[in-house]
């Protein structure tokens, strides 16, 4: 299961991605927002992040205007490793090296075709483990400080 959420600036891209998911049999839960009226992105980031934390969702996707606010907010949630990605290659590295479990994108800077490619890579790339696991463990250790 995939968790997805956006603020008002990411709403249009989120809705397009939802149609893409439905067409491709990708199961998801939409955590809002449900229209283009102004809203507070940290609330959406918390809902998606907690869905990943509680293992209700395997991965999450968050979209705001630039993607920056969502990534900052999501990374405040224990065990969430949110990565802001504007290119498919970055999504691949975020998964391979950082075991990112939440993808963040900027709705004002990422067109739908590029977003589809980024999402495909994010969802289909595995964590490489080995030397990278040690670094993930060090990140996790920071959460307890």
Q: Do residues 104 and 67 touch, judged by C-beta distance below 8 A?
A: yes
64 is catalytic: yes
97 is catalytic: yes
Within 13 Å and on the Cβ side, how many CA atoms surround 8? 5
The contacts of residue 8 (CB under 8 Å, 6+ apart) are 33, 35, 36, 37, 38, 39
Catalytic residue among 39, 64, 85, 104: 64
Q: Do residues 96 and 132 touch, judged by C-beta distance below 8 A?
A: yes
Catalytic residue among 8, 39, 85, 97: 97
Catalytic residues: 64, 97
């Amino acid at each position: 299961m995939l968790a997805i959420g956006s603020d008002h600036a990411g709403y249009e891209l989120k809705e397009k991605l939802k149609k893409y998911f439905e067409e491709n049999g990708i199961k998801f839960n939409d955590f809002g927002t449900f229209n283009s009226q102004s809203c507070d992105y940290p609330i959406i980031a918390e809902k998606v992040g907690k869905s990943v934390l509680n293992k209700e969702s395997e991965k999450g996707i968050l979209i705001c205007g630039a993607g920056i606010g969502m990534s900052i907010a999501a990374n405040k949630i224990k065990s969430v490793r949110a990565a802001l990605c504007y290119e498919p290659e970055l999504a691949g590295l975020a998964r391979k090296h950082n075991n990112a479990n939440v993808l963040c994108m900027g709705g004002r800077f990422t067109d739908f075709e590029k977003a589809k490619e980024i999402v495909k890579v994010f969802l289909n790339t595995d964590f490489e483990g080995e030397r990278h696991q040690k670094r993930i463990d060090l990140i996790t250790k920071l959460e307890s400080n």
